[in-house]
Amino acid sequence: MTKQNVVVSGTKSGISMAIAVAVTNSALFTTASQKPPAVPGTYFSISKKKLLQNLEINTGAKINSWVDSMRASSPTHLKSTPPLSSDDQSSSTLHHPSALDMFEQITNASKGKQIVMFLDYDGTLSPIVEDPDRAFMSDAMRAAVRKLAGCFPTAIVSGRCRDKVYSFVRLAELYYAGSHGMDIKGPSKGSKHKKGAQAVLFQPDTANEFLPMIDEVYEALLEKTKSTEGAKVENNKFCVSVHFRCVDEKKWVELAQQVKSVLMDYPKLRLTQGRMVLEIRPTIKWDKGKALEFLLESLGYANRKDVFPVYIGDDRTDEDAFKVLKERRQGFGILVSKTPKETSASYSLQEPGEVMNFLQRLVQWKRRCLGEFEDSLKT
């Protein structure tokens, strides 16, 4: 177990102080071997298959393993694979039942507990689009998330930089964790779910020292990849993303070689794989799972048994959060995917439309419970 320093800033006093948060180490691209949370519907057993190679530069990952990982995350590749047998489909449904179909069991498991919502952005609240700068969420989804935040503490956890994801969501009452949880900010206009007047501001200890390095890599990758049609490089403050969703598969080896040639000079950075994106990140022991734990602590739920975290995401980087929930044996994760995947999530939803439906039903359920409680006080 290691410790990271965080900064908590008071909105009124403007005073910042560093505190230590204990975090555990976790390997990249592995699934948790622990038993699933003891809640209805989490009745699955998944074999531990290693789908991806470790992509860290300083371990000497080879180009072909990078390309294999790029191919594994490609919707085009998924479409070209043989259709699943009926047995495989039935197994996937059994192991990761629809959160909509199991809604009653989910809400029953959460009764008497404080639900805390964690939501990925791309592929969860907005569809995956060719141009990542145009990954806009619909007005209906924004309305659903606003109502959700009125009922439960709600955080957006994204690989995007915090400012970028906020520009998409535009809801001041939420918590935002950008750069895979390395940049966290609390509600700018206050939240009825947070005791006290502090706004959470977090960055891992020594993270700022990586900023010049990240900027250098961003500029170098812009120059190096400009010959690869469709490649898009994005500076997400504490990480650099190289999107290849518009790159011809025949050019993936070329793109991987370009990325490797730049990163060879930066041993303090590592390469990880997301959904149709290569991500260059600092070698800091921090991820979306650590961000989830930090936010629960900042909300006062770190050691409470009556908290019920729900994390919804579609990306490999969301697995860190899914695994944390399994280890805590509290709440559950929901994977957003149209195809069966090995995951530590307990339930599934197929696409953002189903996510919105689930969030709307959750708000309706909460309001109905509150109405019943108020009626009971009158009798």
Domain ranges of the chain: 102-203+287-370, 206-282
Token code pair at residue 94: 């059994």
* Residues recognised as catalytic: 120
Taking residue 343's Cβ as centre, other Cβ atoms within 10 Å add up to 24
Range 289-310 burial, b when 16+ CB lie within 10 A, else e = bbbbbbbbbbbebeeeeebbbb
Angle at 333 between CA 56 and CA 166, to 5 degrees: 75
Tell me the HSE value of 86 on the side-chain side, using a 13 A CA sphere.
Answer: 0
Angle at 247 between CA 242 and CA 251, to 5 degrees: 100
CATH number for the region 102-203+287-370 comes to 3.40.50.1000
Superfamily of domain 206-282: Trehalose-6-phosphate phosphatase related protein; domain 2 (3.30.70.1020)
> Are the beta carbons of 335 and 121 closer than 8 angstroms?
no
Query: What strands lie across the sheet with 232-235, from one edge to the other?
Result: 232-235, 240-243, 277-282, 269-274
Predicted structure pTM score = 0.74
Angle at 288 between CA 317 and CA 246, to 5 degrees: 35
Do domains 102-203+287-370 and 206-282 share one topology? The answer is no
> Which residues on neighbouring strands pair with residue 116, listed in sequence order?
309
> Which residues on neighbouring strands pair with residue 335, listed in sequence order?
313, 348
Rounded to an integer, what distance in angstroms lies between the CA atom of residue 166 and that of residue 370? 30
Instruction: Tell me the pLDDT of the chain (379 aa) as tens digits.
Output: 444 444 444 433 333 333 333 333 333 233 333 333 333 333 333 333 333 334 443 334 456 665 666 656 554 444 444 444 444 444 445 578 999 999 999 999 999 999 999 999 999 999 999 898 999 999 999 999 999 999 999 999 999 999 999 999 999 999 999 998 899 999 976 556 655 445 667 777 778 889 999 999 999 999 999 999 999 999 999 999 999 999 999 999 999 999 999 999 999 999 988 888 999 999 888 899 999 999 999 899 988 999 999 999 999 999 999 999 999 999 999 999 998 889 999 999 999 999 999 999 999 999 999 876 565 555 5
Rounded to an integer, what distance in angstroms lies between the CA atom of residue 378 and that of residue 356? 34
Task: Find the distance separating the first CA and the last CA of the chain, reported in whole Å.
Answer: 52
